[in-house]
Structure 1
Amino acid sequence: MAIEFCPLDAVWGNWADWAAVLVGSAAAGGTIWVAWLARDTSERATKIAEEAKKIAAQQHGEAVQVREANGRIVGRLLVHEVSELPVKLFSLHERCLRILSGDWDSLKNREVDFIEDTLRKHSVSLMPGAEMSADRLHNLPEELGNDLAVLIGYSRTLSSMSEEMLQQVYTVETPGRLGSFVGPRRMYSGSKEAMQNYSKYVQMFSTYCIPTVAMLREFTGSDPHDFSRFVIKTAE
């Protein structure tokens, strides 16, 4: 049997082969393009991430600089007020000792007046500037800011104690003969124990404040100061 050869079949076979090659090439090219695109996208994403990291670091550095600058301002605003605390508390403690040394069962008018004057002067804050700057203390170094916050707490408690004890100072008229009045008599109904506790609280306040004052003065660049003569000693 003779085998017939059809030229058209051969042509179509060649075209089919070329088509397969073209399709394969296109597919390979598409794969390469997708891979290149993925790599390009990855590189751009890496660059963007690096730029974002640099911007974040720069912003953080700027924020730290602003915080440190604000901290220095707050420190300089408070350094004089806080530096006066050891002196004021030492003076208050001396007043307490004078009050406690008197005859508690028979206080004279001038002694009650002295008690009233002492309590009235300390019913107001010893740290008004620090209290006004309380919401800015976070700009200071953490330990210093925390210690100043504690001192504000001490000051507020001292003011509250003074105010409560002040309410126990009053005046009565002393009757004389035939219904006449000899004159006003000053009275204090607070207990000696309460005044002793008040004195101990002043000592605790002072003990805490002196190291904080030294720390604040160092932070602000103020000259060191020796507060040793204002240290309140524990009673034997």
Structure 2
Amino acid sequence: MTRVAVVTGGSRGIGRATAERLAADGQAVVIVYAGNKAEADKAVAEITSKGGQAVAAQADVADEKAVAAVFDLAEQTFGGVDVVVNSAGIMPLGTVADMDLDTFDKIMRTNARGTFVVAQQAARRLRSGGALVNISSSVVGLRFPQYGAYAMSKGGVEALTLVLARELRGRDVTVNVVAPGPTATDLFLDGKDQATIDNLAKQAPLERIGTPDDIAEVISFLAGPARWINGQVVRANGGII
């Protein structure tokens, strides 16, 4: 039986790399995107051109009806859901003193509520042998200035994960977090000059920043063979902490 994966934030960055990696692993993939239909369609075309199975679905991850419809689509198209990757996220930066609270609310809506809403559907629908992989950030541990709201939203994701793993006792479903360090995505690189990027690269003993494929490799492991890893936070950051 082909495993079926739902990947939010799947049109770009880590989500895109993950969708392509899971498809290469033999999974059928539902690529969930917020608004960039063109990139989502490109991701589907890339996967299908290599013999994989994929469809795109538009949804605001914080909208429970839209997310339920995505899971309906996965079940109707591919027969069920075995893997869910919660990769959708936004990262506006600002100090605690200066952060606009409307911006704060948007961060929490996508990163915290969105993760919860998707996790709720995963908890209800994942088949036996399934896996939920949430995406946090190593900034929860690094605590860089201006990342307060973002780190707060991702800290909640980490807290939720072990709770849900325990709630799914007896279901043979794993729930884990991958917390990337600095990774070369548009989301991370936006607004950073080369000197800042170079400085971040030097912090890891491997002396580079991560790539989306680096993170997708870890997610692939947790989404497939890693059945004895459960309720854990995997900091995929090259040793930066």
Bigger strand fraction: 2
Bigger helix fraction? 1
Please report the TM-score for the alignment, with normalisation by the length of structure 1: 0.23
TM-score after normalising by structure 2: 0.23
- More contact order relative to length (CA 8 Å, sep ≥ 6): 1
Question: Larger Cα Rg: Structure 1 or Structure 2?
Answer: 1
